[in-house]
Amino acid sequence: MSRMITYRDALVEAVTHEMRRDSSVFVYGIDVADHKRIFDSNKGLLEEFGPNRCFNTPLSEDAMTGFGLGAALNGLRPIHIHMRVDFMILAMNQLVNMISSFRYGSGGRFKVPFVVRAIIGRGWGQSFQHNKSLHSWVAHIPGLKVIMPTSPKDALGMTMAAIRDDNPVISIEHRWLYDALGAVSHTAETQPLTGAEVIHPGNDITILATSWMNIEAKQAAEVLGRRGVTVEVVDARSISPFDETVLVESVNKTGYCIVADNDWVHCGFGAEVAARISHTCFGRLKAPVERLGFAPTPCPCTRPLENAFYTGATEIIRTIESMLKLSPTDLSGEHFFSYEKKFKGPF
Amino acid sequence: MSYPGLELYKKLYLARRCEEYIVKYYPQNDMKTPMHMSMGQEAVAVGVCHAVGSTGLVLATYRSHAAFLAHTQNVPLFFSELYGRVNGLANGKSGSMHLADPDHGHWGSSGIVASTIPIALGLAFAQKRKNTGATTVVFFGDGAIDEGSFWESINVAALMKLPVLFVCEDNGYAVHTPSKKRHGYDSIVDIVGQFRCATFSDDSNDVESICNMTQQALSIIQAGGGPVFLHIKCYRYLEHVGINDDMKDAYRPVEIQEAWLKKDCLVLQRLRLINEQGVEEIVIQQLEEQVETSIHHSIVAAKQYSSPDPSQLFHGVFYEEN
Ligand SMILES: Cc1ncc(C[n+]2csc(CCOP(=O)(O)OP(=O)(O)O)c2C)c(N)n1
């Protein structure tokens, strides 16, 4: 039995479920307990669990990350939230110099069950300080797990699994996904923290996508599907550790691979994927792996440049056409996603 | 202008009216940039920037319309930037949160809380090396003083006796969280006063008092006395981000708002001009019309420019010799 819920409600359900199950879980961060509750992803937590388990903090990201480490070492299970990934940058010292290596550096005597939820912003001129993803930054560091749930099923199940995991897990959520509806099982179930998943089956070409780029890739697959080109879309789900089994199987079948990453291309996750695929599927590849992502610039404010900065379904379609040597599809009648149907402004 | 208070009023009026125009036109969805409005807080920016004068170097936050306008008075390029037009301050690349205009002494604004505070140290250090006598002013909110970077910067400025004016615009809230729920102390001024840094505070919302206080601060800085910290209470009229009133959200007590509305900085200064400085109302009205016309022209002109061509996306990532 399944039911449909939004990504936002999946997050609420995951955290509520885990907080009921385990009294050591608590949620904290800047503005987590104000009336907006981080885009309503913390709805009801303060009411049900009280201010000891859901609280606002001063604007002190690095110190409050160290706070989380201390609490985790001492038997609690903190969930620290950043309204934008960009603000998590202020916490890099604690995340990268302390949390990532604390267990290893103690010879395994400590464990650090610590979850960071950080949100990717995009659109309405939020520009260069409110739009980063940074999953490849943190995924580069051994000792940090990095996930990017895309579906409500994963927002629910991976968040639950992250809270139960005895290691630091950074969950990077795209703001635009919050309203996405999807099926989840009747009872809340955890989902594995690693392992890619085929979200749209096909035989002609494989797209590995992260976060929001899955939505774009699926749209591209639907458009090309009408021409008889079948595109397999694989959701990476986790960035670190990244388990390539499902992707390798897909590329061995299609012979083509595009990585559509919600990030800059240079030194990004796509480079890691391309290297692994080139290594593992070398003889099967009919063309080099292609990578798509942000333009190599800071994100500008004004709309025409903001539009040019991001890649979407159109660029994916054009890349597929060029790899498969197809004539260009007429896209004039297509209605691709426009966030303005949902919201104006960053909040 | 023969009345000193009139120039201050003009700047207040400019900042207020520019934002009232933003409120009016924002719903047309042509200014596609998140707006953090200064409305209500203008006396801080105007009083300080007026005292500092055009030689001062100003740094501000994402909530810096008033500071930007008070210091640069560059209304045309301000609106072009908000409209994302090619002739904007940053050719549309910055929007409302990252205003800068180095030709007019405005050295940048930032959407990351507290992130311009340490930059003031380096600007001041460079000015000191060049012996210009100029003061660097950095505006930030009461939320910014939660950040470690603020404390590190106060320490360095005091240690190195840097000519920096730290201006804390204390509107009592960081987004929706009041200072008393974020601060493990009662008086920021008492603590900063323990550094080798003079402090002043104000809760009058009176632009002339703020201007006079800033002049005293500047004389300390210019005499080589090191940095000064101003703590100025104020009140944000609109929501944290956006153009709407948010009293319905009930996180701020109505009585407090009413008290601040009673001492609205424009009302105070206008009354003073008439009652204490003998300015005839007609003179004020003419000035208001003049400001109004200039804003109106700037908006009309801004809208006539085009947005940048998408190829501009790639320009300016690095400095390149032409
Ligand atoms: C480092 C950082 N953390 C969090 C945020 C999100 N944020 C934006 S404004 C703000 C509140 C800042 O309050 P204050 O400094 O008092 O300035 P005000 O908005 O009241 O002018 C917060 C938490 C941010 N932009 N940067």
Nearest-atom index, ligand 1, CA of B175: 11
Could you tell me the pTM of the whole model?
Answer: 0.97
Tokens of A88: 């998590």
> Residue B133: what residue type?
G
Closest residue to A124, CB basis, from B32, B110, B314? B32
**Cα R_g (chain A), whole angstroms:** 20
pLDDT surpasses 70 at B1: no
Does the residue B314 lie in any domain? no
Q: Find chain B residues with C-beta within 8 A of A60's C-beta.
A: 146-148
Q: Find chain B residues with C-beta within 8 A of A66's C-beta.
A: none
Pocket lined around ligand 1, Cβ cut-off 6 Å = A 30, 59, 83, 87, 90; B 63, 111-113, 141-144, 171, 173-175, 240
Query: Looking at chain A, which residue has its C-alpha nearest residue B313?
Result: A305
Confidence tier at A347 by pLDDT (50, 70, 90): very low
Cα–Cα dist B237/A208, whole Å: 47
Same domain? For A321 and A263 the reply is yes
Does the residue A302 lie in any domain? yes
Confidence tier at A338 by pLDDT (50, 70, 90): confident
Query: Looking at chain B, which residue has its C-alpha nearest residue A87?
Result: B112
For the residues A157-183, what does the mean pLDDT come to? 97
The nearest CA of chain B is from the CA of A40 a distance in Å of: 14
Q: What is the DSSP string of B180-191?
A: GGT-SSS-HHHH
Q: Find chain B residues with C-beta within 8 A of A35's C-beta.
A: 176, 249-251
Of B158, B163, B183, nearest to B172 (Cα)? B183
The answer to whether residue A345 neighbours chain B at the CB level (below 8 Å) is yes
Provide φ and ψ at B145, rounded to 5°. Answer: -75, -5
Same domain? For A37 and A165 the reply is yes
Give the residue, out of A30, A57, A59, with the most ligand 1 atoms within 8 A of its beta carbon, to mutate for a pocket test. Answer: A59
List the strands of the sheet with B106-110, edge to edge.
B106-110, B57-61, B136-141, B164-170, B228-233, B198-202
Give the residue, out of B68, B97, B98, B113, with the most ligand 1 atoms within 8 A of its beta carbon, to mutate for a pocket test. Answer: B113
The chain-wide mean pLDDT, for chain B, equals 97
Pick the residue with more confidence: A344 or B312? B312
Does the residue A346 lie in any domain? no
Does the residue A192 lie in any domain? no
Strand partners, A260: A209, A292
Last residue of a domain, one of A185, A211, A235: A185
Name residues whose C-beta falls within 8 Å of residue A211's C-beta, 6 or more positions apart in sequence.
Answer: A120, A133, A135, A148, A150, A172, A173, A174, A177, A262
Inter-chain touch B313–A309, beta carbons under 8 Å: yes
CA B195 / ligand 1 centre spacing (Å): 25
Inter-chain touch A303–B181, beta carbons under 8 Å: no
Element (H, E) at A5: strand A2-6
Last residue of a domain, one of A165, A185, A205: A185
pLDDT surpasses 90 at A120: yes
pLDDT in tens, B27-73: 999 999 999 999 999 999 999 999 999 999 999 999 999 999 999 99
pLDDT at B2: 64
pLDDT surpasses 50 at A346: no
Same domain? For A201 and A309 the reply is yes
CA A317 / ligand 1 centre spacing (Å): 39
Q: Find chain B residues with C-beta within 8 A of A347's C-beta.
A: 34, 241-242
User: Residue B55 class from Cβ within 10 Å (0-12 exposed, 13-18 middle, 19+ buried)?
Assistant: exposed
CA B313 / ligand 1 centre spacing (Å): 28
> How many domains does chain B divide into?
1
Q: Find chain B residues with C-beta within 8 A of A344's C-beta.
A: 29
Q: Find chain A residues with C-beta within 8 A of B112's C-beta.
A: 86-87, 90, 129
Last residue of a domain, one of A126, A160, A185: A185
Does the residue B311 lie in any domain? no
Confidence tier at A340 by pLDDT (50, 70, 90): low
Best mutation target among B93, B180, B188 (most A Cβ atoms within 10 Å) is B93
Same domain? For A216 and A82 the reply is no
pLDDT surpasses 50 at A37: yes
Give the max Cα distance, chain A: 61
CATH number at residue A121: 3.40.50.970
Same domain? For A163 and A215 the reply is no
Cα–Cα dist B17/B77, whole Å: 16
The chain-wide mean pLDDT, for chain A, equals 96
Same domain? For A162 and A274 the reply is no
pLDDT surpasses 90 at B251: yes
Provide φ and ψ at B236, rounded to 5°. Answer: -85, 125
The nearest CA of chain B is from the CA of A336 a distance in Å of: 19
Closest residue to B94, CB basis, from A61, A62, A301? A301
pLDDT in tens, B266-278: 999 999 999 999 9
Q: Which domain holds residue B77?
A: 6-302
> How many domains does chain A divide into?
2
Task: Yes or no: say if B151 and B164 are a contact pair by the CB < 8 Å rule.
Answer: no
Inter-chain touch B111–A129, beta carbons under 8 Å: yes
Does the residue A325 lie in any domain? yes
Q: Find chain A residues with C-beta within 8 A of B84's C-beta.
A: 125, 301-304
Does the residue A345 lie in any domain? no
Same domain? For A320 and A288 the reply is yes
pLDDT surpasses 90 at A91: yes
Task: Yes or no: say if A170 and A92 are a contact pair by the CB < 8 Å rule.
Answer: no
Task: Yes or no: say if A258 and A233 are a contact pair by the CB < 8 Å rule.
Answer: no
Q: Find chain A residues with C-beta within 8 A of B312's C-beta.
A: 305
For the residues B269-292, what does the mean pLDDT come to? 97
pLDDT at A332: 93
Q: Which domain holds residue A98?
A: 2-185
CA B247 / ligand 1 centre spacing (Å): 19
The answer to whether residue A131 neighbours chain B at the CB level (below 8 Å) is no
Does the residue B308 lie in any domain? no
Chain A segment 171-190 residues within 8 A of B by beta carbon are none
Inter-chain touch A127–B310, beta carbons under 8 Å: no
The nearest CA of chain A is from the CA of B204 a distance in Å of: 27
Same domain? For A245 and A148 the reply is no
Of B118, B175, B109, nearest to B142 (Cα)? B175
pLDDT in tens, B201-220: 999 999 999 999 999 999 99
pLDDT in tens, B79-125: 999 999 999 999 999 999 999 999 999 999 999 999 999 999 999 99
CATH number at residue B54: 3.40.50.970
pLDDT at B78: 98
Same domain? For A225 and A159 the reply is no
Does the residue A23 lie in any domain? yes
pLDDT surpasses 70 at A283: yes
Same domain? For A204 and A316 the reply is yes
Percent of chain A at pLDDT > 70 equals 98
Best mutation target among B97, B150, B238, B249 (most A Cβ atoms within 10 Å) is B97
pLDDT in tens, A190-238: 999 999 999 999 999 999 999 999 999 999 999 999 999 999 999 999 9
Tokens of B128: 């000191």
Does the residue B315 lie in any domain? no
Does the residue B313 lie in any domain? no
Does the residue B86 lie in any domain? yes
Inter-chain touch B242–A124, beta carbons under 8 Å: no
Inter-chain touch B32–A303, beta carbons under 8 Å: yes
pLDDT at B32: 96
Does the residue A344 lie in any domain? no
Same domain? For A42 and A163 the reply is yes
Same domain? For A29 and A77 the reply is yes
pLDDT at B320: 87
Residue B253 burial (CB count, 10 A) = 11
Of B66, B151, B90, nearest to B117 (Cα)? B151
Query: Looking at chain A, which residue has its C-alpha nearest residue B27?
Result: A344
Chain A segment 74-113 residues within 8 A of B by beta carbon are 86-87, 90
The answer to whether residue A339 neighbours chain B at the CB level (below 8 Å) is no
Element (H, E) at A69: helix A61-73
